[in-house]
């Protein structure tokens, strides 16, 4: 919980409409980019309030979800929210960032095991 709160303090301007951009902004910071316990994850999520599955991106710290986008979950989602995703490698992220892309990075690829 304290790590998740720290991310929210260190990453200003979180946008409740831009999950891919929010997750990118976290990993762009050296303190998180250089921490192998912090991963960018992309996939689908089912939030209790919406009642529908959404394409989504989030950060995981030690395989625990840190929600960056949905304000009613900040920073740790409740147990009744389901996340199913895949880690996007730093290499994949860097290649996309070099093209100034914000994502989704893997949801639309042919080899995606999610979409």
pTM value? 0.81
Q: Are 69 and 75 in contact (CB under 8 A)?
A: no
pLDDT per position as a tens digit, 88-103 = 999 988 888 888 877 7
Q: What is the pLDDT of residues 44-92, one digit of tens each?
A: 888 776 677 778 899 999 998 988 887 766 666 777 788 899 999 999 8
Every domain of the chain and the residues it spans = 2-97
Task: Give the pLDDT of residue 113.
Answer: 52
pLDDT computed for residue 100 by the predictor: 82
91's tokens: 């290499």
Task: Map residue 113 onto helix, strand or coil.
Answer: coil
């Amino acid at each position: 919980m304290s790590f998740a709160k720290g991310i929210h303090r260190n990453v200003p301007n979180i946008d409740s409409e831009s999950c891919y951009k929010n997750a990118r902004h976290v990993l762009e910071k050296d303190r998180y980019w250089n921490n192998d316990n912090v991963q960018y994850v992309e996939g689908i999520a089912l939030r209790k309030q919406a009642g529908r599955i959404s394409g989504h991106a989030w950060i995981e710290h030690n395989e625990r979800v840190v929600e960056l986008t949905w304000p009613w979950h900040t920073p740790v989602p409740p147990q009744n929210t389901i996340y199913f995703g895949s880690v996007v490698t730093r290499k994949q992220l860097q290649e996309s960032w070099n093209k100034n892309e914000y994502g989704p990075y893997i949801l639309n690829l042919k080899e995606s095991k999610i979409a």
